[in-house]
A and B are shown apart, each in its own frame.
Chain A
Amino acid sequence: MSVRLILPALAIVALALVPPLAPFLQVLLTLAMAKGIAVMGVTLLLRAGQVSFGHALFFGIAAYGAAFLAASPLDDLLLLLLAGALGAGIAGVLVGLFVVRYRGIFFGMLNLAFSMIFWSILEKFYYVTGGADGLRLPRPSVAFIEMDRGPYEVLLYYASLLLAIALGWFVVRFLASPVGQLFQTVKTNETRLEYLGVSARRTLLKGYVLSAVLCGVGGVLMAAAQGIVTPSYAYWIRSGEMVFIAVLGGAGSVVGAFAGSIAYELVRSYAAAFAADAWQMVLGGFLLAIILFAPGGLVGIYAAFADRIGARRAKSASKKEAGT
């Protein structure tokens, strides 16, 4: 096993042991994984060189979709997840058809505009959306079995972990697939893509819809863990936070999306607990330090570290050989 895979493997084992061994981290990590899944959507677009400042839109659409569905008899976690992902996917197609014509800053700004329109609607139509106070999402059944809070939260934790692993694996496979390769060419050389007779827009759209669905799944998990959805799910600061986490973890890295969101949630919640009126400053400083001193993000730090160990091991191995 290569050195680099050791920690991710250990991390998954450690995460699987959290509910019995460190129950007080369980909720925080559920939220972190929900966010991590959403951040993966942003990460995916980063691989095509596009930065969206409005992906909270899909996070919010799915979360509100779930909250509306939860008010009906179809109040089941599995259905909520399906509906949220579907809603986000449809919204992704509609918005995507429009925004894939744009690149760079316009791409980012248009996404921002869509998310802000959605946010304004959520705030404005109080009698439908609950306005700034949002909608409650009472604990749903799981596979139509009613659950108490304790088991439900454990289950939600493992569901998030499994979804994170499964979707992470899927995204890695997507990027390695021919479509995924073409998708990443949008970043490096879009014109060549057109010369190959491939529509850059259509390729980008496929990735865009996938990224929207990922955000949607994250949004539903978050809503299911929180028990409430509010317009802040779709606010620009949430979108900025997703980009922030993607870069913190290591821009473009799937594992980084999760490493980033776990680190972010830990810093955020401990900063909120121990510096209640300066937590934003702590987060901002943390972000600056990462960008200025470790632009590869957490994954970059780890890779450099693993490489050094790998190199040392190779060196000592070669020394041994020379000695004999």
Chain B
Amino acid sequence: MTGATILLAIFDGVAYAALVFMVAVGLTLIFGVLRILNVAHGSLYAIGAYLTASIGGAIFAMGWSPVLAFPLMLVSAALVGVLLGAPMERLLLRRIYHRPEVLQLLVTFAVFMILEDVQRLVWGNQPYFESSALALLGNVQVFGVYYTVYQLILLPLVAIATLIGLRLFLRRTLTGKLITAVTEDREAAQSIGIDADRVYLLTFVLGAALAGLGGALASPTTSVLPGIGAEMIVLSFAVVATAGLGQIEGAALTALMIGLGRSFAVYLFPELQVLVPYLIMLAVLLIRPEGLFGSPAARKI
């Protein structure tokens, strides 16, 4: 590989990592607080993408300005968080917190199955493609190769902003501190009077909205079609486990490793591309069983 192609591979890797991080961060957050691996996260991602692509397509066709694509992404994310995340937590998950982990996971698996069909019933089978946001920002040329500003610059910026924003939110604001307290020790937090129910609801809505935002951000770059959630969820699982459970910085680092690993694979061994996330996960967990940033859990006696 020449210096130029190495740089090209890094650009592609960073752009992809940004997207992976945006999807995995919501799952990481929910897992950190609720200790639930939300399989339906993939569906929330897909629905975020569908909302953005379909509403965007409709309003741009009516002549609205394509600049609205950006606020629309936030609106879609909020819709996913409030209309899907909140009822899911209140009506389903809340009933099963005291039950074994496997039942909690299966509840989200059931929701995943239901939402897969809901997507098809609402949006049909034809792929949606709505790339106004991408077209609006144009291209930049690097070493004679065109990149979209959206993927090369905007997505990494959004990912970094999300990472910093979440850090500040969790460490500097009261709500954030409450969430952190529940993450660290659920019972202790409750015993000092923290309303865990509220924290759970809030976290789940936030996590779901982040899944929706991930989908919304991905939508201008890809076809939105049935089944996109199923692939994304496994990738997110790999990120969450590799990162160390609930570790947002870990998720960022893992996403970067996966993104770079994947793009270098395309340049060097294209056939290995799909294996990269899982190989990274195995390698990390072999060396650090609790994940990159995880700490060993206290032993139960």
Contact = CB atoms under 8 A, between A and B. Distances in A.
Interface string B94-112: 0110011111011101111
B106 A247 contact: yes
A277 B95 CA distance: 30
Contact of B278 (A116, A279, A283): A116
Contacts of B160: none
Residue of A98, A121, A292 with most partner-chain B CB within 10 A: A292
Chain B interface size, under 10 / 10 to 19 / 20 to 34 / 35 or more: 35 or more
A109 interface: yes
Interface residues of A, number: 43
Contact of A106 (B106, B109, B289): B289
B289 A284 contact: no
Contacts of A105: 37, 101, 241, 245
B285 to A, nearest CB: 6
Contact of A237 (B121, B230, B271): B230
Residue of A104, A109, A121, A278 with most partner-chain B CB within 10 A: A109
Given A120-B275, A237-B230, A101 B102 contact: no
A244 B100 CA distance: 14
Nearest to A283: B113
Given A120-B274, A191-B300, A287-B106, A281 B230 contact: no
Contact of B102 (A46, A125, A280, A292): A46
Residue of A101, A190, A283, A284 with most partner-chain B CB within 10 A: A284
Contact of A117 (B110, B271, B275): B275
Given A105-B241, A106-B289, A120 B278 contact: yes
Interface string B104-142: 011101111110111011000000000000000000000
Interface in B53-106: 92, 95-96, 99-103, 105-106
A281 B117 contact: yes
Contact of B117 (A109, A116, A280): A280
Nearest to A116: B278
B300 to A, nearest CB: 7
B282 interface: yes
A51 B114 contact: no
Interface string A29-69: 00000000000000000100001000000000000000000
B281 interface: yes
Main secondary structure of the interface of B (DSSP, over half): helix
Given A117-B282, A277-B120, A291 B275 contact: no
B119 to A, nearest CB: 10
Interface string B272-301: 001100110110011001100000000111
Contacts of B14: none
Given A46-B102, A287-B106, A123 B114 contact: no
B208 interface: no
Contacts of A125: 271
Contacts of B102: 46, 51, 243, 247, 251
Nearest to A292: B95
B109 A240 contact: yes
Given A112-B237, A121-B275, A240-B39, A247 B103 contact: yes
Contacts of A124: 271, 274-275
A175 interface: no
A295 interface: yes
Given A123-B274, A243-B102, A284 B120 contact: no
A60 B81 CA distance: 37
B275 A109 contact: no
9 contacts: A102-B285, A123-B274, A124-B271, A191-B301, A251-B102, A280-B117, A284-B117, A288-B110, A291-B103
**7 shortest A-B CB distances, which residue pairs?**
A284-B113, A281-B117, A284-B114, A109-B241, A287-B110, A284-B110, A288-B110
Given A102-B289, A113-B285, 11 more contacts: A51-B102, A116-B278, A120-B278, A124-B271, A243-B102, A243-B106, A247-B106, A280-B114, A281-B117, A284-B110, A291-B110
